[in-house]
Amino acid sequence: MNGLVFLVLAVTLSVLAIPVAIRLAPRLGMVDKPDPRKVHAKPIPRIGGIGITLGALLPIAILLPWTPILESFLLGSLILFVFGAWDDSKEITHWIKFGGQFAAAGLIVYHGNLWVERFPFLGGELLPAYIGKPFTIFAIVGVINAINHSDGLDGLAGGECLLSLIVMGFLAYVASDSLAVYLTCAVAGGILGFLRFNTHPARIFMGDAGSQFIGFAMAFLAVYLTQIAHPALSPALPLLLIGLPIADINAVFYLRISGGMNWFKATRNHIHHRLLDLGFEHYETVILIYSVQAILVGSAVLLRYQSDALVTLVFFAIVTVLFISLTVAERRKWEFTATPEKRALSRVVGSLTTDRRMAKHAAAAAVAMFSVLLLIGTLAVRDVPLVVAFISFSLLVACSINLARRSGSSDSLIFRFATYSIALLVVYLTVQEPPASRWLAFGVSTPAYLVLAAITGIAIRMATEQVFRTTATDYLILFGLITISIFGRELLEVRHISLIIVHSVIMVYAAEFTCRATQKRLSLLSVAVLLSLLILSLKGL
DSSP string, 222-257: HHHIIIII-TTS-TTTHHHHH-HHHHHHHHHHHHHH
This prediction has a pTM of 0.75
The kind and range of the H/E element at 32 are: strand 31-32
Higher pLDDT, 123 or 520: 123
Nearest by Cα to 476 from 188, 232, 88, 153: 188
- pLDDT on residue 254: 84
Residues listed for the chain: 541
Nearest by Cα to 425 from 453, 455, 398, 390: 390
Nearest by Cα to 211 from 53, 89, 71, 38: 53
Average the pLDDT over 163-192 and give the result: 92
Q: Angle, to 10 degrees, between the axis of helix 178-198 and the axis of helix 68-90? A: 20
Query: Per-residue pLDDT tens for 474-484?
Result: 667 766 666 66
Report the percentage of the chain scoring pLDDT > 90.
Answer: 38
Average the pLDDT over 188-210 and give the result: 85
Nearest by Cα to 143 from 94, 101, 187: 101
pLDDT at position 156 over 60: yes
CA distance 452 to 255: 47
- pLDDT on residue 446: 78
- pLDDT on residue 341: 47
- pLDDT on residue 413: 74
Residue by residue, DSSP assigns 150-168 as H--STTHHHHHHHHHHHHH
Whole-number Cα distances in Å, 12 to 84, 162, 188, 332: 23, 17, 12, 48
CA distance 94 to 216: 16
pLDDT at position 503 over 50: yes
pLDDT at position 326 over 50: yes
Rg, Å, the chain Cα set: 25
Average the pLDDT over 149-173 and give the result: 89
Q: How confident is the model at residue 489 (pLDDT cuts 50, 70, 90)?
A: low
Average the pLDDT over 336-361 and give the result: 55
pLDDT at position 342 over 50: no
Least confident piece of the model among 167-171, 270-274, 439-443, 480-484: 480-484
